[in-house]
Homo-oligomer: A and B are copies of this chain.
């Protein structure tokens, strides 16, 4: 397909690479950030622009990959009647695009994407569209970059998934960051924890998280928990989280 990418951030960069790798033609990249757009255009051997008026009108699909709160601004003065246009945001309804085209939809990558990634991860895609044509094009595009993990989902599904994604990615990463900081302050090497972190994540492929739960909270091992709380006296932020999550584990049955 001929694709125009609107945006030049992490999602734009990684999706663009996936599209290129799948053999699509990125005919143009538009971004208000001219230097980021030029860089991606060079990488993809295509042209870039930072003028809305110069946006190519003849592509098959337009992917608007900008941050949630930038979508409204970006689409002002962009009109692409007859074209399929999708944004990539979890928590923004597809209807925000209805002034741009009659064929609007969503192309939501359920993954944490960063420009600096050296290898492109698996990216489950949740697509949605206002009509059959939009859905069909976005689904085909999704299948071309994500063989097995393509799901149709409406605005509400996407919002719910985003909550779950925040839990398992943003919040777990915050726990990693707190542990990293704790280790630095206590003179321990955080890297020693990586095999444990990896095992905890990877075992979900064949074990339910509930069944895999272990540790002093689950065992109601109050002696160990008290020792830990004693150590955390100097780390009040960590201590609060330790108490809440220990209680939450003990509430589970």
Contacts and interface: CB of A to CB of B under 8 A. Distances in A.
A77 interface: no
A80 interface: no
A149 B221 contact: no
B195 A182 contact: no
Interface string A197-236: 1111111110111101111111101011001100110000
A-B CB proximity, top 4 nearest:
A170-B215, A176-B209, A201-B201, A122-B195
B221 A68 contact: yes
Majority DSSP secondary structure for residues of A touching B:
helix
What copy number does this chain have within its complex?
2
A197 B201 contact: yes
Contact of A193 (B110, B202, B232, B252): B110
A179 interface: yes
Contact of A168 (B124, B165, B176, B219): B176
A45 interface: no
A181 interface: yes
Interface stretch (A24-32, A53-61, A131-139, A156-164): A156-164
A82 interface: no
B192 A151 contact: yes
Interface residues of A, number: 89
Given A160-B182, A168-B196, A172-B175, 13 more contacts: A111-B196, A114-B203, A159-B228, A161-B188, A161-B193, A162-B224, A163-B232, A167-B175, A168-B200, A170-B218, A176-B204, A177-B252, A197-B201
Contacts of A227: 91, 159
A33 interface: no
B249 A174 contact: yes
A249 B240 CA distance: 13
Contact of A177 (B112, B122, B213): B213
A223 B71 CA distance: 14
